[in-house]
Amino acid sequence: MTTTIDSILHEHRLFVPPQAFAAAARIKSRAELAALQHQADQDHEAFWAGLAQQEITWQRPFQSILDSSRAPHYAWFKDGLLNVSYNCLDRHLPERGEKTAIVFEGEQGDVQRLTYAELHREVCRFANTLKRLGITSGDRVVIYLPMIPEAVIAMQACARIGAIHSVVFGGFSADSLRDRIEDAGARMLITADGGHRGGKIVELKAAADKALAKGCPSIESVLVYRRTGHEIAMQDGRDVWWHEAIAKATAQCPPEWVGSEHPLFLLYTSGSTGKPKGIQHSSGGYLLGAITTMKWVFDIRDDDLFWCTADVGWITGHTYVAYGPLAVGATLLMYEGAPTVPDAGRFWDICARHKVSIFYTAPTAIRALMKLGDAFPTAHDLSSLRLLGTVGEPINPEAWMWYHRVIGHERCPIVDTWWQTETGCHMLAPIPGAVATKPGSCTLPLPGIVADVVDEQGNSITMPDQGGHLVIKKPWPSMLRTIWGDDARYVSTYWGKFDGKYYLAGDSARRDADGYFWIMGRADDVIKVSGHRLGTMEIESALVAHPRVAEAAVVGRPHDIKGEAIFAYVVLRGSRPVGGVDEALTRELRDWVGEQIGAIAKPDDIRYADNLPKTRSGKIMRRLLRTLASGQAITQDTSTLENEGILLQLQGKA
């Protein structure tokens, strides 16, 4: 019996760091990186302790580095006292008070700039308001806002007074909002009358009202930011306008010093069961991870304009919008709306007008924009860009090459960053001045991150290109601390498989002969065909490499003879075949995959749709596809689908 996943897709292109980039980078060569790696390997704890002393301003220094007495509930720097908001704002004021902290652009084109001094003032005023409304250290505050500076202000204000925020993505429904408020036991909800997205108003307050009408007894007050100015209902005694509440608040608000392990935030994420997990992050360790990766992976500089397109409702928007860029005193850009308003050139227009130098987005966005053609990016001056990044899912080599060529003009390194809500910050990623990249690989573990690929028994897989479980073998500072209210689930989900020894990421991965990591998809997306285990992502990557294919999702379906058969859902560039049938193309694609990977990976079925079913965060709803592929009735919640109309196409009924 094979216990490893057969890896059958190979990518041989190698892109060395451009000389001009490497010469100016913080880490300039593989040798410099090796020296850092060596320090970390020699003494894992001393390595992280040194960085924690250097990068964080502590109110009281720590003595304890790593406490493993309650493993796997590890504690880092636990007797140290700090405040995350102080580290993001106050400490920059002497040198950077007049420097722009946030450049904001609304979907309708409104632009706003906040200096560090202004942001500090707004955070202090809002923190005082939270206190006046009864919020104290350790209280949970749910934030349900659009992508506007006030989202960052609210998060930073919570951090300032030791309140634990839980940001809920504005695209989530009232029911999801209610579940998260109730699980967290939040006392306050911060929302807005609405936000602008895709030319429409996102009715946040209406959804919030609906959530609160159905439960949420712990909520005492609702703060409402006026963004759109359209009519909404305000409930007397519960709802307060943000601008009225802060009117009398002063800008003096000394930070609340908290222990390093004090929870900074909860962020709910989906697991293999239906109930979302409240991933709990710490203060000191989390902040350290945000800072080190801003410096190592993004090579951030004082004159950079850093744009991470992620919504603050996701971990990427926490670490690389609300905390990381501010902790290092950088200037960040925030955009409220959709990438296609008024047209598919919006991202490139923003990059050109504001002179964005570092651009970080998701493969799904890259592929979507690629599909719309080169004319949009080519119409804009992208010469300010110096570094590109991707996150969230494996990037197929074709999209990587497009990003490299059409957006980066073959001048910008691409950092493909692997990490998770649970890991807090980048784990596997190239250091752009030092590590040569390969399209589709997130390359190597960062210093101080001990990653490995292991088999079912937990043994390291040393043979190149053999897939296995991606694990992290030593605790790291920015790791999750637990699942809110469910320590047992934390232990079983992440530490159960290998008896508490290794953190189980839940992804399958392989390492090539150079030691580069290739993420093959979630371990639960592995399919087994005639005894061969195949990563679904690899088949997808092959499909999208075909000139006619824009996107593809592959799942397994039960098959009498082979165990599982491969079912592919395909979105074409251009229009979908009439009635969803094109036998010639289906044959061509099967042969194409056979050629790219091998006959074993040829999809048994190919079904064409106008779109793939995605959650609002852009993740493909694989469980739904598996249900459809096996011909079963839909049991999943499809209310978060961007386009419910595609269901019939996916079922082969339209």
Q: Which residues of this protein are in contact with ligand WT7, per CB under 6 A?
A: 269, 315-316, 391-394, 416-421, 442, 505-507, 519, 522
The three-state secondary structure class of 107 is: coil
Residue 442 or 593 with smaller CB distance to ligand WT7: 442
* CB 61 to ligand WT7: min, Å: 31
Question: CB–CB of 459/525 below 8 Å?
Answer: no
* CB 422 to ligand WT7: min, Å: 7
Q: Long-range contacts made by residues 552-557, C-beta under 8 angstroms, separation at least 24?
A: 552/612, 553/612, 553/620, 553/622, 553/625, 554/527, 554/603, 555/525, 555/527, 555/622, 555/625, 555/626, 555/629, 556/527, 556/528, 556/529, 556/626, 556/629, 557/604, 557/605, 557/626, 557/629, 557/630, 557/631
* CB 26 to ligand WT7: min, Å: 21
Q: Give the single-character DSSP code of 492.
A: I
Count of other CB atoms within 10 angstroms of residue 450: 17
Radius of gyration of the chain (CA): 24
Residue showing tokens 């001009």 = 20
Residue 149 or 392 with smaller CB distance to ligand WT7: 392
* CB 342 to ligand WT7: min, Å: 28
Retrieve residue 152's tokens: 């960052």
Question: CB–CB of 334/309 below 8 Å?
Answer: no
* CB 310 to ligand WT7: min, Å: 7
Residue 419 or 503 with smaller CB distance to ligand WT7: 419
d(CA 519, CA 400): 15
Residue 219 or 509 with smaller CB distance to ligand WT7: 509
* CB 82 to ligand WT7: min, Å: 24
* CB 276 to ligand WT7: min, Å: 11
Residue nearest to ligand WT7 (CB): 421
Strand partners of residue 112: 104
Residue 297 or 519 with smaller CB distance to ligand WT7: 519
Q: Which residues contact 95 (CB under 8 A, 6 or more apart)?
A: 329
3-state helix, strand, coil in the chain (%, to 5): 35, 25, 45
* CB 247 to ligand WT7: min, Å: 38
The three-state secondary structure class of 289 is: helix
Closest residue by Cα to residue 316 from 258, 379, 360: 360
Give me the helices (H) in 414-514, please. 487-490
Q: Which residues contact 578 (CB under 8 A, 6 or more apart)?
A: none
Q: Which residues contact 419 (CB under 8 A, 6 or more apart)?
A: 315, 391, 425, 426, 427, 428, 429
* CB 3 to ligand WT7: min, Å: 21
Closest residue by Cα to residue 410 from 49, 13, 5, 11: 13
Closest residue by Cα to residue 450 from 519, 393, 524, 517: 517
570 to 68, 553, 557, 576, 611: CA distances (angstroms): 47, 7, 16, 9, 8
Residue 315 or 358 with smaller CB distance to ligand WT7: 315
d(CA 104, CA 148): 7
The three-state secondary structure class of 58 is: coil
* CB 614 to ligand WT7: min, Å: 13
* CB 392 to ligand WT7: min, Å: 4
State the sign of the Cα–Cα–Cα–Cα dihedral 332, 310, 392, 76.
positive
Residue 215 or 515 with smaller CB distance to ligand WT7: 515
Residue 116 or 314 with smaller CB distance to ligand WT7: 314
* CB 8 to ligand WT7: min, Å: 17
